[in-house]
């Protein structure tokens, strides 16, 4: 009889349980299998459980703290991450912070307590991450930034950044405006729907756009406010812009969802979006591309949400201790009406 058997039999008799060992081992096996499928404790927002599968992940557990579900872009980004984790055989613990930084910080802390192998997240805003990222560093859990960046000066707090160049997207949108109005005498009155205040895309897109239009003083941003990257808020703020009585020649929306909300407001005011008020946007999600093809939006700079496959490759490399580039930017393009019409049938999101 093995030592285990001796200890096992002894402890059970002392406890007064009369259970055959076979039955107890079977019960333990069932319990262990049930534990393997249990969900995550994200500490905030909503979460989904481990989604292992696919094989090849060598039992890697990734904790991902998502911004929220504020836009079509975010929905596509979440799907890409969840599908890619399954495909890569990586166990994904996922949380939705509902656009609140405190929920993302809680989620990261819960992943540290659960001792996940890697943490990845899209920081809802640029600032306020050093404390929790230092906690991950002290716990020897590597962190990958996806989509949005942080403004920390300590580059040792994360292994890499995977995402877009938002400043470039702003330049692309602004350059289209400068070209579109090259023969117009001016003034060209611009309303701006900014993304989430303090977020990297909002800060950087504004920087790039402003750099382009300030090449000619006829361009003036006469109204600018955050629409929080959502359709509802974009509509609400655009209604206020329209009610201000200030002339609006063009709307610059930091994402398609706010542009789509603004379209509802413009049509509600009896005006034609894309004609009475031209619209320039960023993302190129399906509904934005449809509005572009329909002539209600005039130009979109693409921002790809399909970061999942690259993220999972990075997770495996980082877990294996391999070196990875400090910054990995996604390939993107721009669309006018003809390009959107041609691209729509094959769009994945
Ligand atoms: C950009 C991403 C932004 C999108 C919005 O990478 O962070 O957040 O442009 C989304 O649609 O809400």
* 306 CA from centroid of ligand 1 (Å): 12
Q: Tell me the CA distances in angstroms from 184 to 219, 249, 270, 320, 333, one per residue in order.
A: 10, 11, 24, 57, 26
Alpha-carbon span 173 to 312, nearest angstrom? 31
pLDDT at 348: 85
* 56 CA from centroid of ligand 1 (Å): 30
Q: Is the CB of 71 under 6 A from ligand 1?
A: yes
Instruction: Tell me, rounded to whole angstroms, the distance of Cα 159 from its chain centroid.
Output: 18
Query: Which among 324, 306, 326 has a CA at the least distance from the CA of 315?
Result: 324
Same fold, 61-164+306-331 and 166-303: yes
Q: Which CATH superfamily is domain 166-303 in?
A: Response regulator (3.40.50.2300)
Query: Which among 21, 26, 17, 27 has a CA at the least distance from the CA of 4?
Result: 21
Among 99, 147, 260, which residue has the most ligand 1 atoms within 8 Å of its CB, making it the best to mutate?
Answer: 147
Among 66, 67, 73, which residue has the most ligand 1 atoms within 8 Å of its CB, making it the best to mutate?
Answer: 73
Q: Is the CB of 148 under 6 A from ligand 1?
A: yes
Tokens, residue 314 = 């990075």
Among 195, 196, 227, 257, which residue has the most ligand 1 atoms within 8 Å of its CB, making it the best to mutate?
Answer: 195
3-class state of residue 170 by DSSP: helix
Contact in structure between 298 and 278 (CB atoms under 8 Å) = yes
Among 79, 96, 173, 229, which residue has the most ligand 1 atoms within 8 Å of its CB, making it the best to mutate?
Answer: 229
Tokens, residue 312 = 């999972």
Alpha-carbon span 135 to 182, nearest angstrom? 52
Q: Tell me the CA distances in angstroms from 308 to 58, 82, 141, 179, 315, one per residue in order.
A: 18, 7, 20, 35, 10
Alpha-carbon span 323 to 127, nearest angstrom? 26
Query: Which among 118, 71, 69, 123 has a CA at the least distance from the CA of 93?
Result: 118
pLDDT at 336: 98
3-class state of residue 65 by DSSP: strand
Q: Is the CB of 304 under 6 A from ligand 1?
A: no
The domain spans of the chain are 61-164+306-331, 166-303
Element (H, E) at 118: strand 118-121
pLDDT tens, position by position, for the chain (349 residues)? 343 333 333 333 433 333 444 454 555 554 444 444 333 334 445 655 444 444 455 699 999 999 999 999 999 999 999 999 999 999 999 999 999 999 999 999 999 999 999 999 999 999 999 999 999 999 999 999 999 999 999 999 999 999 999 999 999 999 999 999 999 999 999 999 999 999 999 999 999 999 999 999 999 999 999 999 999 999 999 999 999 999 999 999 999 999 999 999 999 999 999 999 999 999 999 999 999 999 999 999 999 999 999 999 999 999 999 999 999 999 999 999 999 999 999 998 9
* Domain spanning 61-164+306-331: CATH 3.30.70.20: no
Alpha-carbon span 71 to 64, nearest angstrom? 18
Alpha-carbon span 136 to 9, nearest angstrom? 42
* 255 CA from centroid of ligand 1 (Å): 7
Q: Is the CB of 255 under 6 A from ligand 1?
A: yes
Query: Which among 54, 48, 122 has a CA at the least distance from the CA of 84?
Result: 54
Alpha-carbon span 262 to 19, nearest angstrom? 69
Q: Which atom of ligand 1 is nearest to the CA of 254?
A: 9
Beta strands per DSSP E along 188-336: 188-194, 219-226, 250-253, 278-283, 299-302, 327-329, 334-335
Q: Is the CB of 70 under 6 A from ligand 1?
A: yes
* 73 CA from centroid of ligand 1 (Å): 6
Alpha-carbon span 64 to 307, nearest angstrom? 13
Q: Is the CB of 161 under 6 A from ligand 1?
A: no
pLDDT at 197: 98
3-class state of residue 18 by DSSP: coil
Q: Which atom of ligand 1 is nearest to the CA of 199?
A: 7
Name which residue sits closest to atom 3 of ligand 1, judged by CA. Answer: 201
């Amino acid at each position: 009889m093995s030592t285990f058997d001796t200890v096992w039999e002894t402890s059970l008799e002392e406890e007064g349980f009369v259970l055959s060992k076979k039955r107890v081992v079977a019960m333990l096996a069932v319990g262990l299998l049930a534990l393997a499928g249990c969900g995550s404790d994200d500490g905030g927002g909503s979460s989904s459980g481990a989604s292992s599968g696919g094989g090849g992940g060598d039992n890697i557990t990734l904790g991902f703290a998502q911004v929220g579900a504020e836009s079509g872009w975010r929905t596509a980004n979440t799907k890409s991450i969840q599908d890619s984790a399954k495909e890569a055989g990586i166990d994904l613990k996922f949380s939705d912070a509902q656009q609140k930084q405190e929920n993302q910080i809680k989620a990261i802390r819960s992943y540290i307590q659960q001792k996940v192998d890697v943490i990845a997240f899209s920081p809802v805003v640029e600032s306020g991450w050093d404390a929790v990222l230092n906690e991950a560093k002290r716990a020897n859990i590597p962190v990958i930034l996806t989509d949005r960046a942080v403004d920390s000066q300590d580059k040792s707090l994360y292994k890499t950044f995977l995402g877009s160049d938002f400043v470039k997207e702003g330049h692309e949108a602004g350059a289209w405006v400068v070209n579109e109005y090259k023969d117009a005498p001016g003034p060209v009155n611009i309303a701006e729907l900014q993304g989430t205040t303090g977020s990297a895309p909002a800060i950087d897109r504004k920087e790039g756009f402003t750099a382009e239009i300030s090449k000619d003083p006829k361009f003036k941003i006469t109204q600018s406010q955050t629409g929080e990257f959502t359709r509802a808020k974009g509509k609400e703020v655009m209604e206020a812009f329209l009610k201000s009585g200030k002339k609006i020649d063009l709307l610059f929306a930091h994402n398609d969802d706010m542009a789509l909300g603004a379209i509802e407001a413009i049509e509600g005011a009896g005006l034609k979006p894309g004609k009475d008020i031209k619209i320039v946007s960023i993302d190129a999600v399906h509904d934005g591309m449809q509005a572009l093809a329909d002539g209600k939006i005039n130009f979109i700079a693409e921002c790809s949400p399909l970061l999942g496959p690259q993220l999972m490759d990075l997770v495996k490399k980082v877990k294996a201790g391999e070196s990875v580039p400090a910054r990995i930017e996604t390939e993107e393009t721009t669309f006018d009406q003809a390009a959107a019409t041609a691209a729509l049938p094959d769009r994945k999101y």
